[in-house]
Amino acid sequence: MAQPRTYSAKIVTRAGELFQGDVVSAVIPGAEGYFGVKAYHAPLIAALGLGEMVLTGADQHKRYFALSGGVVEVRDNQLIVLADIGERAEEIDVDRAQQAAQRARARLKGEGAEKRVDITRAEIALGRALNRLHVAKHRR
């Protein structure tokens, strides 16, 4: 079987680089739904949503990342992901994510959450926490 064609991928956040290397395919949480990128993808610029990103290397090894917000560009066989918030699956602090989820749930149920802003914030926080917990399941 022919070697699968690879392209270079990079994930950068404000806190640093999460990944740089060659991959065969990527599954990306776009703002308007998940999409896949393989080698020689057409030039694309897309907004990132909240979700899990999966990179597959030439050896079929998969890497998982929890991302939230940002933008992604595909061009000249290069993928660049600029995430507002991003973490590698193996670096997610599950206890902290669980606590964050609990806090957010409590705020959603609580009497104090009358203001719409607070509710939106709590919902976002809950979404992020659940996403991190989901991605953390893939840790080795």
Partner 1 sequence: MAANLRELRRKVRTVQHIRQITRAMKMVATAKLQRIQQIVQNGRRYQDELRRLLAHVVAAARDVDHPYLRGREVRTVGVMIVGGDRGLCGAFNRQIIELALEFISGQEVGVEVITVGNRMRRYADRSGLEIVGSYDGVERPDDVSIGQIVDQVRRWYESGQVDLVQAIYARFETIVRHPAVSEQLLPLVPDAFGGESPEYVEYIFEPEAKKLLGGLLPRAVGVQIAQILLGTQASAQAARITAMSAATDNAEDMIVELTRHLNRARQEEITAELLDVVSGARALQA
| Of 79-87, 102-110, 115-123, 128-136: span binding partner 1 (CB under 8 A) | 79-87
Span near partner 1 by CB under 8 A; candidates 70-78, 87-95, 113-121, 130-138:
70-78
Question: Of 15, 58, 106, 119, which one interacts with partner 1 (CB under 8 A)?
Answer: 15
12 contacts partner 1 (rule: CB under 8 A): yes
Contact segment (CB under 8 A) with partner 1 among 59-67, 69-77, 97-105, 116-124 equals: 69-77
Closest CA to 28 of 15, 17, 41, 16: 41
**Binding status of residue 124 toward partner 1 by CB under 8 A:** no
Q: Are 36 and 14 in contact (CB under 8 A)?
A: no
**Both structure tokens of 24:** 């065969």
| Helices 94-109, 116-136: crossing angle, 10 deg rounding | 150
In whole angstroms, what is the distance from residue 31 CA to residue 46 CA? 8
Give 15 or 58: the residue with its C-beta nearer to partner 1.
Answer: 15
Least spacing, CB of residue 16 vs partner 1, in Å: 4
Q: What does the block give as tokens for 138?
A: 């893939």
